[in-house]
Structure 1
C-alpha cells in the first residue's frame, strides 16, 4: 500500500484535493498536535471516520530528528559561499505554526524569528521558513512511517523540493549545460479536474473497489521515478525508455479506465512528482536531446522537464530527494515543469 502525508498545513484547503489524493493513495495522513481539533467540513470528517484520513501526533524522536536536520541546514546555508540561501526565505508575510510541532531545541530559533504570538499560542513566522521546518518535520515522519509527501501548493512543493535536495542549488537555476537537475515528472491525463459533484461516499467506495489497479499504478510510478533518478548513462536511459515507460503507460491506462466514470470533461488535474536526473538522461534523443528545461512527452499523458539545475552532483541524496508529489488544484499550464521552473526561480532569486 502507498500512503500520503499532507503538508505543511493541517486543514485541507479544498475537498477536491483530498478526493483526488484518495484516487492515488490508500490513506492520507496529516500532522495534528494533540490539543488541536481540525476544522473539517462534513466530507473530510466522513473520510476521517472511515479511516482514510488519519491524524498523526509527532513523537519526541521525530521532533528531535526534524530539529537536528533543520538547524544543520540553517547553519550550513548561512556559512557556505557555494550554495545559495533563497531570497524567498526572507518573505515579509507570515503564517501560523503551532509550538507543539516544534522540538524544544528549535523553539528558541522560531521565537527569535517570530514577529508575534497569537492569542491561541500560534507563532507568526515567515511562510517559507515555516514551510522549510514543516518539510523537515514531514520528511522525518514520512521516512519513519514509509509515507509519500503530498501537497496542493506549487509554492510549497518548490520549498519542499529545495529542502528535499539538501539545498543543493546555486543562484543559477537555469543552467543549460549543468550535469544534474531537479526535474518534474507530470501525469496530465489521469485525475479528473473536478470532483465537487462526486460524493465522498462514492470516492470511498471506489477506493475499496479498485485497490488492485491503483496499487499497480503506484508501484510502476515509484519504480519509474527511482530508475530515472539512478540513471547516469545513455545506454541505461535507452533501457528505461524501452521498458519502464511502457510499463508505466500500461498501468496508468488501466487505472484511468477505472477512474473514467468520474470524469465529466476531458480536462484533467496535473499530478506530478519531483526527481533528480542527470544531463545524460535529459539529453538522450528519445527523451530530450535539446534544452533540459523543455518538457518532453515520454508517452501519452506523461511529461518530463527540468525545474532547476543542481549545484553539484555529489550532493544528490541517497533517497534521490524522496517522493514528494503535487496535485494542482488549477490547471494553469500544459507544461507544468516550466511553471514550476519560474516559481523556483522566484523562490531562489526574487
Structure 2
C-alpha cells in the first residue's frame, strides 16, 4: 500500500492542470524530483496548491539515487543503443541513407548527436551520475548543455524518458513510494524492448484505477472548474477520499496476476466496471433512502405506551403528553435514518458520488456528506 503519497516524474515543473486537478482528488501528496540548485518555475496555481494544501512536495535527489539509477539503467542501455531497431527508427526520422552510418562508430555518433541537437530533451546534471553523463556524451546520444543550460544535459528524448523512469524507480524503491506521471509514454518508451522497468503493473493498477474512476465521475471539462473549488472539495471530503483510496489500494494488493501490459489493461477494464456499477447501486440506495425518510415521518404514530397513559392524565395535560409522544417518535425515526445514512456515507464509493454531486452540478440527491447533519437537510 502506498499510503497516499506518490513520486511524480519526469518533469520538475507541473504544467498539466487537468492531471493536477485529478491528482488532488485522489492522492494525499505528490513529490517531484527537484535538484538543490534548481528553483521550479511554478505557475500561480501550483504556488496556491503548495501553500494552501501542502499537496506538492519537493524531493532533493542524492548521490545514492543517481548511482543506483546508473547501475540499473546501464544494464538496459547498451543493447538498446546497439540495436538496429533503435538506429532504424532514428534513420527514418532523418530520412538519410543508412549505408553512410551502418557500422562505423564515428558516423553513428555523429548521426545520433545531430538527432539530439534537433529534438532532444534536457535532464539536470544532479539527476545523473557523472560516469553516465560522460558515457552518453561519448556515444552521441547526449550533448552538453550550452549557455543558460550549462547545468543540463541534452539527451535523446526516448533514452532520456527511459532513464528518468529508472531514476524515479530507484527513488521510489528507497522511499517506498509509487511513481506517477502525466506522460503516458513513460511506461511504454523504447518500444523495442520489454524492459523490466515496466513490470511493476500492480503499482500502475493502483493509481491508474483511481484516476480512471475519478476521470469517469468528474466533468470532462474539469479545466474549467476553478482551482479553489477543487481545493474546497478536497478539504471537505478528505476522510471520504482517504477511504476510497484505501479501498483501491487494498484491491491492488489482492490482485496477483498482473505480469504484463495486456493483463493490466484487462484488470483496469474489469474492476472499473465493477466499481462503477457498485457506485450506481449506491446512488440508487441514496435515492431510495431519501424517499424512505419522508415516508417515515408521514407514518409516525404515538407509541402505545404513551397512548395508554392518557387514560390517567387530565384533559389539560393531554396535549403535552401527545406532543411528547410525537417528538419521541420523531427523534427515534431521525436517529434511525441518520444511522442508515451514516452507513451509506461510510461506503468508500460515496466519495465518487460526492464528486459527482459537487463537480458535475447534478441535483440527483442531496450531497452524501450533508445528509447526516440534521433533519433540516432532508
Corresponding residue for residue 107 of structure 1? 133
Secondary structure, counterpart of 1:215 in structure 2:
helix
Corresponding residue for residue 69 of structure 1? 72
Corresponding residue for residue 263 of structure 1? 360
Q: Distance in 2 between matches of 1:243 and 1:129?
A: 33
Cα distance per residue 1:39-97 (max 9 Å; x no partner):
1111101112232111111012111111111112224556899xx86976887421111
Match of 1:146 among 167, 176, 182: 176
User: Larger relative CO (CA 8 A, sep 6+): 1 or 2?
Assistant: 1
Corresponding residue for residue 48 of structure 2? 46
Say if 2:33 and 2:61, in contact at 8 Å, map to a contact too: yes
Corresponding residue for residue 167 of structure 2? 137
What's the RMSD between the two structures over aligned residues? 3.9
User: Which is higher, the Rg of structure 1 or of structure 2?
Assistant: 2
Greater share of helix: 2
CA gap of 1:66–1:151, structure 2 versus 1, over 3 A, is same
Output aligned runs, 1:240-251, within 5 Å. Answer: 249-250=278-279
Normalising by the residue count of structure 2, what TM-score does the alignment of the two structures yield? 0.54
- Aligned-pair CA distance for 1:17: 1.8
Say if 1:17 and 1:152, in contact at 8 Å, map to a contact too: yes
Greater share of strand: 1
Q: Distance in 1 between matches of 2:191 and 2:5?
A: 19
Name whichever of 221-230 and 19-28 sits farther off: 221-230
> Number of paired residues?
244
- Aligned-pair CA distance for 1:130: 0.7
Q: Structure 1: where are the runs of 5+ without partners?
A: 170-181, 233-240, 266-350
Say if 1:32 and 1:55, in contact at 8 Å, map to a contact too: yes
Cα distance per residue 1:1-50 (max 9 Å; x no partner):
31122211111222232111111111111111111111111110111223
Q: Distance in 2 between matches of 1:65 and 1:152?
A: 24
Corresponding residue for residue 127 of structure 1? 157
Q: Distance in 1 between matches of 2:27 and 2:188?
A: 21
Cα distance per residue 1:276-324 (max 9 Å; x no partner):
xxxxxxxxxxxxxxxxxxxxxxxxxxxxxxxxxxxxxxxxxxxxxxxxx
- Aligned-pair CA distance for 1:152: 1.8
Q: Distance in 1 between matches of 2:191 and 2:44?
A: 32
- Aligned-pair CA distance for 1:160: 9.0
Normalising by the residue count of structure 1, what TM-score does the alignment of the two structures yield? 0.58
Match of 1:30 among 24, 29, 32: 32
Say if 1:135 and 1:163, in contact at 8 Å, map to a contact too: no
Cα distance per residue 1:127-166 (max 9 Å; x no partner):
1111111111111122222322222222223229998951
